[in-house]
């Protein structure tokens, strides 16, 4: 409760960094910043300040409030706000001080010198940020100095404890496999609860995109922007399934920046568990596999109700027009074929003036539910090069309607498009429009969409854990990987105007 009154309302608009500068001037004159200690997440800030042999801690978080234990010698800590007002006194228990992290910065000042915080101040690592070209195996070192008059016991993760004599030094080393992930690595280096975070950014990242854009198959796109060659293995596993992963060789040459592969499945969607792709490459002597990159755990689910009913219209969807728009909606496989067969809708339209629009909306929301919180929806669009705009629309639990960036239809034939949900959406979602088409000029044409699939990622699923998930009892079997056959996606001719 004491943290709730840390700042006057007039200061709430200031950034944490501005408040920390103000607080150091008010509470810690003469102190200098030493280092940032590792917290539970990147959002958590635990800063160590020093003034000779005196130490202090400054904390805040941009995430959820929490309590973080930091090693400290037994003593009392006075907690100040950034105005210099004392708020409370905390006591070290079991050689740990419990820091309360909230959005407003707090300053913790120990009574007298604190030997363990001095150890943290003297600990030295490599630079807090490194740029590495992967894959390779590197060592990250953290040197400890014992400023006390008695031995310092360092509890090293995964190793035996070490006693450091007064005035002596000891280097703690951590071996790290650096791959080629697009996301930076955050590695904690240290001992005895005193850790610093080293962020490693890869100079030659590989990006893997996974989508269910064809029936009974998964398509894998490997993006290698720097064209650094590699030769390794790709593995696909079902998260939570005890079956061995499906593995096969994968390589890219020195001039390859994009590679596309297909993985056939033994069943149609949805998959029974989330699926995850990893790519590894052997390095070093002796050889050891280094993980180059991995996808998020992803699950895929068809959008239902596109197959034709007795009237040739989609069984669960209908057409709504606005302004001077006229249109006709049909379902089924066109004579020229479609990526998902009869899970295809055909939309013939006429816009008499700019700003006219049409929407494909649910007949009954209960027949086309959206489980949990999807990351995106993707489907094939057969364009007519009209210059009109196309998108989708969702409505969240608050009633707010979200529309991703619209695509300008400047192409002819089939093209796959993905529309992402917004991270501010609140589950459960419902469909406002599976397809929203806005006319940019008077025009007549025809569009088709085929095989809409919702994609779920592990981080999105966890945010909607209370939502009911779809149960699938079928098992999955894998075939041999094959290359994408462009002939299966021959363009469908748009009717003449």
Residues 373 and 448 in one domain: yes
Cα–Cα distance list, 457 to 214, 374, 460 (Å): 19, 7, 5
Query: Which of 184, 202, 220 is the C-terminal boundary of a domain?
Result: 202
Q: How confident is the model at residue 70 (pLDDT cuts 50, 70, 90)?
A: very high
Residues 93 and 60 in one domain: yes
Q: What is the rounded average pLDDT of the residues 476-497?
A: 34
Per-residue confidence (pLDDT) for residue 125, from 0 to 100? 77
The residue ranking higher by pLDDT, 94 or 242, is: 94
Residue range 29-58, pLDDT digits in tens: 999 999 999 889 889 999 999 999 999 999
* Share above pLDDT 90 across residues of the chain, in percent, rounded to a whole number: 67
The order of strands in the sheet holding 129-132 is: 129-132, 194-202, 185-191
Residues 230 and 272 in one domain: yes
How many domains is the chain built from? Answer: 4
Per-residue confidence (pLDDT) for residue 4, from 0 to 100? 40
Residue 17, SS3 per DSSP: helix
Distance CA 374, CA 12 (A): 34
Per-residue confidence (pLDDT) for residue 495, from 0 to 100? 34
Residues 431 and 400 in one domain: yes
Residues 183 and 228 in one domain: no
- Which of these, 143, 125, 266, lies nearest to 199 by C-alpha position? 125
Structural contact between residues 383 and 447, judged by C-beta atoms closer than 8 angstroms: yes
Q: What size, in residues, is the chain? A: 497
Residues 369 and 429 in one domain: yes
Residue 463, SS3 per DSSP: helix
* Share above pLDDT 70 across residues of the chain, in percent, rounded to a whole number: 88
The domain in which residue 451 lies consists of: 302-475
Per-residue confidence (pLDDT) for residue 269, from 0 to 100? 65
On whether residue 490 sits in a domain, the answer given is: no
Cα–Cα distance list, 181 to 54, 70, 255, 284, 295 (Å): 41, 31, 19, 19, 9
- Give me the residues paired with residue 372 across strands: none
The residue ranking higher by pLDDT, 244 or 294, is: 294
On whether residue 483 sits in a domain, the answer given is: no
Residues 447 and 356 in one domain: yes
Give the CATH number of the domain where residue 228 resides: 2.60.40.10
Residues 51 and 98 in one domain: yes
Structural contact between residues 100 and 108, judged by C-beta atoms closer than 8 angstroms: no
Per-residue confidence (pLDDT) for residue 235, from 0 to 100? 92
On whether residue 184 sits in a domain, the answer given is: yes
Per-residue confidence (pLDDT) for residue 3, from 0 to 100? 40
Per-residue confidence (pLDDT) for residue 475, from 0 to 100? 32
Distance CA 250, CA 261 (A): 10
Residue 21, SS3 per DSSP: helix
- The number of angstroms, rounded, from the C-alpha of 65 to the middle of its chain's C-alpha atoms is 21
Give the CATH number of the domain where residue 152 resides: 2.60.40
- Which of these, 103, 45, 114, lies nearest to 77 by C-alpha position? 114
Q: What are the two backbone dihedrals, phi and then psi, of residue 83, each rounded to the nearest 5 degrees?
A: -85, -5
Structural contact between residues 452 and 297, judged by C-beta atoms closer than 8 angstroms: no
Structural contact between residues 60 and 43, judged by C-beta atoms closer than 8 angstroms: no
Distance CA 289, CA 302 (A): 36
Residue range 415-440, pLDDT digits in tens: 999 999 998 999 999 999 999 999 99
Distance CA 102, CA 118 (A): 25
Per-residue confidence (pLDDT) for residue 459, from 0 to 100? 54
Q: Is the pLDDT of residue 142 over 50?
A: yes
Question: In whole numbers, what is the pLDDT of the chain averaged over residues?
Answer: 86
Reduce the secondary structure of 74-110 to three states and give it as a string.
CCEEEEECCCCCEEEEEECECCEEEEEECCCCEEEEE
Q: What is the rounded average pLDDT of the residues 306-313?
A: 91
Query: Which of 119, 146, 165 is the C-terminal boundary of a domain?
Result: 119
Residues 9 and 64 in one domain: yes
Residue range 192-232, pLDDT digits in tens: 888 888 999 999 999 999 999 888 889 999 999 999 999 99
Q: Is the peptide bond before 43 cis (omega within 30 degrees of 0)?
A: no
Residues 72 and 7 in one domain: yes
Kindly report whether the global pTM for this prediction surpasses the value 0.85: no
Give the CATH number of the domain where residue 114 resides: 2.60.40.1180
Residue range 371-413, pLDDT digits in tens: 889 999 999 999 999 999 999 999 999 999 999 999 999 999 9
Residue 489, SS3 per DSSP: helix
Cβ neighbours around 391 below 10 Å, total: 16
Q: How confident is the model at residue 267 (pLDDT cuts 50, 70, 90)?
A: low
Q: What is the CA radius of gyration of the chain?
A: 29
Residue range 340-368, pLDDT digits in tens: 998 999 999 999 989 899 999 999 999 99
Residues 454 and 333 in one domain: yes
On whether residue 484 sits in a domain, the answer given is: no
Q: How confident is the model at residue 8 (pLDDT cuts 50, 70, 90)?
A: very low
Residues 34 and 161 in one domain: no
């Amino acid at each position: 409760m004491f943290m709730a009154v840390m700042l006057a309302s007039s200061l709430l608009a200031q950034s944490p960094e501005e408040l920390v500068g103000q607080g150091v001037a008010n509470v810690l004159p003469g102190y200098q910043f030493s280092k940032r200690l590792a917290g539970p997440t990147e959002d958590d800030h635990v800063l160590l300040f020093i003034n000779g042999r005196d130490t202090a801690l400054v904390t805040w978080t941009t995430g959820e409030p929490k309590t973080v234990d930091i090693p400290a010698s037994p003593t009392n800590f006075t907690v100040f706000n950034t105005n210099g007002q004392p708020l409370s006194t905390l006591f070290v228990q079991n050689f740990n001080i419990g820091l309360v992290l909230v959005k407003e910065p707090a300053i913790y000042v120990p009574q007298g010198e604190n030997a363990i915080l001095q150890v943290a101040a003297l600990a030295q690592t490599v630079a807090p940020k490194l740029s590495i070209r992967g894959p390779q195996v590197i060592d990250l070192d953290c040197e400890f100095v014992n400023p006390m008059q008695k031995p310092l016991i360092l509890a090293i993760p995964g190793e035996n404890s070490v006693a450091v004599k007064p005035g002596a030094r000891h280097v703690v080393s951590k071996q790290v496999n650096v791959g080629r992930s697009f996301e930076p690595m955050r590695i904690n280096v240290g001992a005895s609860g005193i850790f610093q975070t080293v962020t490693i950014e890869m100079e030659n990242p590989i990006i893997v995109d996974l989508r269910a854009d064809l029936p009974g198959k998964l398509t894998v796109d490997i993006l290698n922007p720097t064209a650094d060659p590699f030769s390794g293995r790709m593995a696909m596993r079902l998260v939570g399934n005890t079956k061995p992963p499906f593995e096969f060789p994968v390589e890219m040459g020195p001039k390859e920046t994009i590679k596309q592969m297909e993985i056939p499945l033994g069943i149609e969607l949805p998959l029974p568990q989330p699926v995850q792709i990893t790519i590894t490459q052997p390095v070093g002597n002796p050889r050891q596999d280094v993980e180059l990159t991995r996808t998020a755990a992803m699950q895929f689910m068809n959008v239902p109700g596109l197959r034709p009913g007795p009237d040739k219209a989609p069984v669960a969807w209908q057409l709504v027009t606005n302004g001077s728009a006229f249109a006709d909606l049909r379902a089924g496989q066109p004579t020229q074929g479609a990526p998902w067969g009869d899970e295809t809708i055909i939309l013939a339209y006429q816009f008499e003036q700019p700003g006219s629009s049409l929407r494909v909306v649910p007949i009954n929301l209960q027949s086309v539910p959206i489980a949990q919180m999807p990351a995106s929806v993707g489907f094939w669009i057969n364009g007519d090069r009209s210059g009109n705009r196309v998108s989708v629309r969702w409505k969240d639990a608050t009633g707010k309607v979200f529309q991703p960036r619209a695509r300008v239809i400047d192409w002819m034939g089939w093209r796959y498009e993905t529309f992402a949900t917004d991270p501010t959406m609140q589950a459960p979602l419902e469909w406002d429009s599976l397809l929203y088409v806005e006319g940019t000029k008077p025009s007549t044409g025809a569009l088709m969409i085929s095989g809409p699939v919702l994609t779920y990622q592990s981080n999105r699923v966890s945010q909607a854990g209370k939502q009911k998930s779809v149960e699938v009892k079928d098992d999955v079997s894998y075939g041999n990987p094959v290359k994408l056959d462009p002939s299966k996606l021959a363009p469908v001719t748009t009717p003449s105007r």
